[in-house]
Structure 1
Amino acid sequence: MNLKEVKQLARERMKGYCRVCKECNGIACAGEVPGMGGCGSGDSFKRNYESLKNIKLVLKTIHDAKNPDTSIEIFGRKLDLPLITAPVTGSSINMGGYLSEEEYSDSAVIGSIKANTIAMTGDSANPDFYIAGLNSIKKVNGEGIAIIKPRENSKIIECIRKAEEAGAIAVGIDIDGAGLVTMALHGQPVGPKTLEELKELKESTKLPFILKGIMCVEDALLAVEAGVDAIVVSNHGGRVLNHSLGVADVLSDIVKAVGGKITILADGNVREGTDILKYIALGADAVLVARPIIWGAYGGYDEGVKLVIDNFKNELKQAMILTGCKDIKSIDNTKIVNLNR
C-alpha cells in the first residue's frame, strides 16, 4: 500500500463527500457543510489555504543539519514529530459513511499511535460519537485527547468525567464550534463562553485543558487569564464563519502576545511536511491535521493513517535539511518569508 493507492481508495469510498483534490484548496467543496467543505462561499477554507501558501521557505544548504531531529515533547509525551491528529467526528454525516464512527475513530487513534504521535477525538450532535472516541482512547491505554463541543458547562463537565475515566491525557473544548451548522440541525445547544465559564471548566479537572478555536490576540490573552494549558489557533477549517482570516494570517500576532505563557497549536490546511515547518516558523509548538488523516483512514484504516503521518515526517525532515534546521527548536522566522505581511 502506498500513499497514491490510499488516496484513490479514499476518493472512491467517500462517494463525492471529498474529491481528495490534488490541491486541497476548498474550491470544489465550497458550501458543503454538512460534508467536507467550508461554509458559505468557502472563503474561510480558501483563506487558510492561500495564507499558508503565502508563507515561503528560505532554501539554505551550507550547514551541518544533515540528520534533523523531528521529535518534540508535549503534554508530557515525546512524539516523533510536531503533529497531532485533529478531532473529527461524523463519518456518516460528513464523509459518506463507508466507515462506521467506531472504525474511523479507531483508525485515527490507533494509526496515530503506530506513527508515534497521538490523536484528539471529537464530539458531535450525536452523543454516541463522543463515546466512540473515548472507546478508541481506551484501546491505546488512554494515549489520546478528548475535545468536547461548547455545550452548557454542566454537560461539558460530564464529558470531562467520562474522558478522565477513559484515561485521556488531556481534555478541551473546540470553542469555535459555537456556530456549527451540524449542531444546530440536531437541536444541540452550543455557544460562546465567558471568561468565568472557562475558568470553571479549567478548574473542574486536573488534566491539561485545551481551548481550540482561537483566532485573535484578545481571545488568546483571555485564554491565558482563564488558566488553560494550550490553545489551538483555528477557524474550524473554515466551517463555521465565512470570510474569516486564515490561521497563517493571525498566528504570529498571537504568538507575540502569549508565546511562552501557553502551548500554541496551529490547525489549518496542513497538507504536507513543509506546512508543518511553516507553522512552527510562525511560532506554533505543533500542528493539528484533519483531512489527510481522514484520507488515510478511508483509504487504509489505521495503517493508512500511519502511512500518511510517516509521509509527513519524511517531508518535514527533508524540509528541515533544506532550510538548515537541526531540530524543531531550530525552526524560527528566519526560515520563512511571510508574503501575507
Structure 2
Amino acid sequence: MGHGDEVTVDRAHCLADLERAAASALPAEVWDFVAGGSGAETTLDANRRALDRVFLVPRVLRDVSRCTTAATLLGRPVPVPVATAPVAYQRLVHPDGETAAARAAKAAGVPFTASTLSSVPIEEITAIGGTVWFQFYRLRDAERSLRLVRRAEDAGCEAIMLTVDVPWMGRRLRDVRNRFTLPDHVRAANIEAGPTAHQRHADASSVAVHTGEILSSATTWSSLAALREQTRLPLLLKGVLSAEDARRAAEAGVDAVVVSNHGGRQLDGALPSVDALPEVAAAVGDGCEVLLDSGIRSGTDVLRALALGASGVLVGRPLIWGLAAAGEAGARRVLDLLSDELRDALGLSGCDGVEAAKRLRTFVPA
C-alpha cells in the first residue's frame, strides 16, 4: 500500500483495519517509531488491557431514538467528545503531515492539537480554519519558550496544552536499535533547531538526543504558575496520573487535566491511564475538565472514559494510522468511525447522549 488515493478507506470498518493498512504503508523503522513504546513496552500493552477490563452495565427501556454524541470541550460545543492528541513529525507518515490531519479534524468538527515538534509550522495549521490547540513543551531557553507561546496565540490557537511527563524522552528501544534518524524533509518546524535529529548516532535515537538538547528538564509547579500568568488562553496539563497532582493543577487554575502516560512512551511501568482516571476525576471534581489519553481505539473506549469521569478523550496513534494509510481521507475516516461507534455504544447502553453516559455504571473484574 502507498499514500494518498492508492488506499481506499470505505473498506475500513474499525480502527484496526487502518492500523494494518498503515503498517503495510510505512517503512519498518518509521512504523516502529509510531507504534513503539519505552522499555519493555509494559505500559504500552497495559493501556489496552486496562481498557478491555472495563465492562459497562447497560440500562434498558430508555428512549434512545434521538441519541446524540454532541458534547462540550473547554466550554466549546463539539459533535463528539474527541480531540486529536499531539503527535510530532507527522510528515514522517505522509507528505502532507499535520496539514492533512488538521483538515480532517476541521471536517469532523473536533479540535486538532498541534505539537511543539510539528513538522508543519503552526501558522499553516491554523490557516486551515479549524479549532487548534497548541501542545507546548518548555524549552531550555525561557525566552524562546515564551516566544513560542506568543506565536501560538498570534497564530490563532484556542488553548495551550502543557505536556509535563517528558523531562527527557523515554528510552524507546525500537528506535535505539534502529538508530532512528529523521529524514532531511522532516523537521521541527516551530523551533530553531540544530542538525542533531538528522545525524545518526551509534547507540541512540537521534530524535531522543535532539529532544534532550532542547527541552527543559526543570519544569515545575512554578513553571505552571508562570505559564498561567503568561497566557489568557485555556490551559490544559497533559501527563497527569496522580490524583494529588490533578488536584493541585486544578487549584493552580488549569482548565483541564489530561490523564495520560504518553501512550506508553515515557515511564515504562507507569499506571495505565484509564486506571488512574476515576481517582483523578474525583480529585478535581468541578475544578476543571478531565480528558483521557493513551490507548483509545474505539467508540466503546470513549464511552468507557465518559462513564469513568472524563469529559472526552484524545486520540493519537489511530489518527496517524489513517494519515499513513490514506492521507486526509484516512485521518477523517478514523474520526468518523469513532463518532459512529460512540453513537452505537451510547444507544446500546441505554444512553441518549454524553451526559447520560457519565451516569453509566462500570464493572472491573477482580
**TM-score, with length taken from structure 1:** 0.86
Q: Which residue of 1 aligns with 2:209?
A: 185
**What is the CA distance between 1:37 and its match in structure 2?**
1.0
Query: Matched residues in 1 for 2:330 and 2:26: separation?
Result: 15
Q: Is the 8 A contact 2:37 2:265 kept in 1?
A: yes
Q: Would the alpha carbon gap of residues 317 and 171 (structure 1) be closer, same or farther in structure 2, given more than 3 Å must change?
A: same
- Per the alignment, in what secondary structure is the counterpart of residue 329 of structure 1? helix
Question: What does 1:102-113 align with in structure 2 at a 5 Å threshold?
Answer: 103-113=96-106
**What is the CA distance between 1:246 and its match in structure 2?**
0.3
Q: Is the 8 A contact 1:57 1:335 kept in 2?
A: yes
Question: What does 1:125-274 align with in structure 2 at a 5 Å threshold?
Answer: 129=118, 132-140=121-129, 143-152=131-140, 153-181=142-170, 184-186=208-210, 187-274=213-300
Query: Matched residues in 1 for 2:122 and 2:11: separation?
Result: 25
CA root-mean-square deviation: 2.1
Q: Would the alpha carbon gap of residues 212 and 324 (structure 1) be closer, same or farther in structure 2, given more than 3 Å must change?
A: same
- Per the alignment, in what secondary structure is the counterpart of residue 304 of structure 2? helix
Q: Which residue of 2 aligns with 1:75?
A: 74
**Structure 1: which 5+ runs fail to align?**
20-31
Query: Matched residues in 2 for 1:36 and 1:133: separation?
Result: 25
**What is the CA distance between 1:193 and its match in structure 2?**
2.4
Q: Of the candidates 10, 15, 18, which is equivalent to residue 27 of structure 2?
A: 15
**Is 1:298 matched with 2:324?**
yes
Q: Would the alpha carbon gap of residues 62 and 78 (structure 1) be closer, same or farther in structure 2, given more than 3 Å must change?
A: same
**What is the CA distance between 1:189 and its match in structure 2?**
3.2
Q: Which residue identity is paired with 1:232? A: V
- Per the alignment, in what secondary structure is the counterpart of residue 65 of structure 2? coil
**What is the CA distance between 1:65 and its match in structure 2?**
1.7
Q: Is the 8 A contact 2:90 2:119 kept in 1?
A: no
Q: Is the 8 A contact 1:175 1:192 kept in 2?
A: no
Q: Would the alpha carbon gap of residues 302 and 131 (structure 1) be closer, same or farther in structure 2, given more than 3 Å must change?
A: closer
Q: Would the alpha carbon gap of residues 154 and 8 (structure 1) be closer, same or farther in structure 2, given more than 3 Å must change?
A: same
Q: Which residue of 2 aligns with 1:40?
A: 39
Q: Which residue identity is paired with 1:99? A: H
Q: Would the alpha carbon gap of residues 134 and 252 (structure 1) be closer, same or farther in structure 2, given more than 3 Å must change?
A: farther
**TM-score, with length taken from structure 2:** 0.81
Query: Matched residues in 1 for 2:272 and 2:148: separation?
Result: 30
Q: Which residue identity is paired with 1:37? A: G
Paired residues in the alignment total 316
Deviation readout 1:77-97 (Å, 9 max, x if unpaired)? 2211001011101236xxxx3
**What is the CA distance between 1:333 and its match in structure 2?**
5.2
Decide which moves more: 188-197 or 302-311: 188-197
Q: Which residue of 2 aligns with 1:281?
A: 307
Decide which moves more: 155-164 or 237-246: 155-164
Query: Matched residues in 2 for 1:294 and 1:98: separation?
Result: 7
Q: Which residue identity is paired with 1:10? A: A
Identity fraction in percent: 29
Query: Matched residues in 1 for 2:119 and 2:144: separation?
Result: 12
Q: Would the alpha carbon gap of residues 214 and 48 (structure 1) be closer, same or farther in structure 2, given more than 3 Å must change?
A: same
Q: Which residue of 2 aligns with 1:99?
A: 94
Query: Matched residues in 1 for 2:93 and 2:345: separation?
Result: 35
